[in-house]
Amino acid sequence: MARPRIEVLSRDEVEEIHLRSLNILNRVGVRIEHEEALNMLRDIGAEVDLNKKIVRIPEHIVREALKRTPPIVRLYHRDGKNYVELYGWSTYFVVGSAAYYYIDWRTGEIRRPMTRDLADVAKLADALPNTHIMSTALVPADIPEIVADRWRMYVVLKRCSKPIDTGAFTIEGVPDAAKLMKAVVGEENVSRKPFMIFAICSSPPLKWSSLTVQNLMDCAKYGIPVHIIPMPQTGGTAPATLAGAVLQANAEFLSGVVIAQFTKPGTPIVYSGSPTVFDQRFATSCTGYIEVGLMSAAFSHLAKFYGVPSASYTMVSDAKTFDQQATLEPAFGALISVLSGINMAIGSGMMLEENGISLLKLVIDDDIAGSALRFAKGIQIDVETLADWLIEEVGPGGLFLKYRHTREWWRKEHFIPKLLDKKTTDTWKKSGSKTLDTVAREFIEKVLKEHSVEPLPPDIEKSLDNAMLEILKKHKVEKVPEI
């Protein structure tokens, strides 16, 4: 069966970007603000200027690092049984992560989030069938910043059973996260059955901060999957041309692969991206431009060239309130994701140029994701689906409703949205003439009231609580909010 696909780069263009990336790494290099990484790279044959912290990486080192990178990344559910497998043309939708603002679904107010808000996001995501990976979506304002990264993980683990996209804001973040993972699945399964994947962001152009490199090396040592995220901002921290921005981002990705694979061979890596457009009219870093989709598709092509999974922030909207823009931009992003084979389509529920989470957008994004996934399946052509025998039997002017074939295949062939209105106009009016945001609010209220997240076994929950308590005590945090 033919699968609908798009290609924004030819094979020759992918190879040219690759070769020019190698040239940038060998001639220009990258700045790495981490002494251990600098020494490691010097020891394997890279040219290292310790004073300027510039590393020039020869081609043979990059090639060796790519050879060491696994082609498939599995992310497990909390129970260690179910998992998503990132590879090929499969697409999974991911809640946007690390937002500093929350758009209240009842009032529309943009405010700092509380722990209870993050718990609501987690519970809602747990119930959504086309939202496959939860994230540490919000940075709660009611917990000290020094432990906020690990507190987010803890809250989500308590309220959602799905894999988690996360990240660390501190040097101790990854080792402490490994303790939380160990409490849930056991030490041997932290790397064997990982249920977290860490975001590792380079600092464009061509720079790696000390904190980020430490997080990357720690993830490698523990065997925790990472998605390396170049963040080219066209016209700001990257060339204004899309090709130039993609080239720079690719060089940054490859340098991250080198750091990870020479820290520990076989580190699970996803080629990710968070491209933005620097809108010179307003000095804003925008995620909803269609060019973001083009760059994201290009990243997916490059990932397939290297034989690694892909990800990108394709589901984010720049909208400030839940309006038409908030659904239009992720609709484009969802289709681009499935058609270009982006394995992790990140940003469900996310608005405000990656700075806010909206439950209204999250539930609509789930319907958008389901629609896009259905489109990606294409049209099945075989004897049963062509149904020429049925067409002949029904004949001119007939009706197909009474046939078993219709009953069997109608639901198989069509995606049935939860929230999008498909009623007659009269039925819609009799139902209250409800707008999409009203329907979405009612759905959210119902899920938060009725959905039951599969609980952790009591002994595992106690182990998790103790691990978090140990982290809090280490930082002298005595009072925490209720979840």
Q: What is the mean pLDDT of the chain?
A: 97
Question: In angstroms, rounded to a whole number, what is the distance separating the alpha carbons of residues 57 and 48?
Answer: 9
pLDDT(295) > 90: yes
Which residues are CB-contacts of 50 (< 8 A; sequence separation ≥ 6)?
Answer: 38, 42
Phi, psi of 268 (to 5 degrees): -70, 125
* Both tokens assigned to 429: 């009016």
Q: How confident is the model at residue 297 (pLDDT cuts 50, 70, 90)?
A: very high
* Both tokens assigned to 230: 């170049």
Q: Is 306 helix (H, G, I), strand (E, B) or coil?
A: helix
Distance of CA 278 to the CA centre of its chain: 22
Encode pLDDT of 75-129 as tens digits.
Answer: 999 999 999 999 999 999 999 999 999 999 999 999 999 999 999 999 999 999 9
- Distances in whole angstroms, Cα of residue 325 to Cα of each of 202, 339, 349, 436: 29, 22, 13, 13
Question: In angstroms, rounded to a whole number, what is the distance separating the alpha carbons of residues 147 and 124?
Answer: 24
Strand partners, 277: 234, 286
Which residues are CB-contacts of 263 (< 8 A; sequence separation ≥ 6)?
Answer: 40, 216, 217, 220, 221
What's the confidence (pLDDT) of residue 1?
76
Closest CA to 269 of 232, 306, 314: 306
Whether the predicted model's global pTM rises above the 0.95 cut: yes
Contact 204, 233 (CB under 8 A): yes
pLDDT(450) > 80: yes
Tell me the domains of the chain and their CATH numbers: 11-62 (no CATH), 67-377 (3.20.20.480), 383-413 (no CATH)
Question: In angstroms, rounded to a whole number, what is the distance separating the alpha carbons of residues 313 and 94?
Answer: 9
Q: How many residues does the chain have?
A: 483
Encode pLDDT of 391-449 as tens digits.
Answer: 999 999 999 999 999 999 999 999 999 999 999 999 999 999 999 999 999 999 999 99
Question: In angstroms, rounded to a whole number, what is the distance separating the alpha carbons of residues 288 and 314?
Answer: 8
Q: Give the pLDDT mean for 167-183.
A: 98
In this prediction, what percent of the chain has a pLDDT beyond 90?
99
* Both tokens assigned to 31: 């700045």
Matching residue, tokens 């002494």: 35
Question: In angstroms, rounded to a whole number, what is the distance separating the alpha carbons of residues 153 and 135?
Answer: 8
Strand partners, 238: 234
Encode pLDDT of 362-400 as tens digits.
Answer: 999 999 999 999 999 999 999 999 999 999 999 999 999
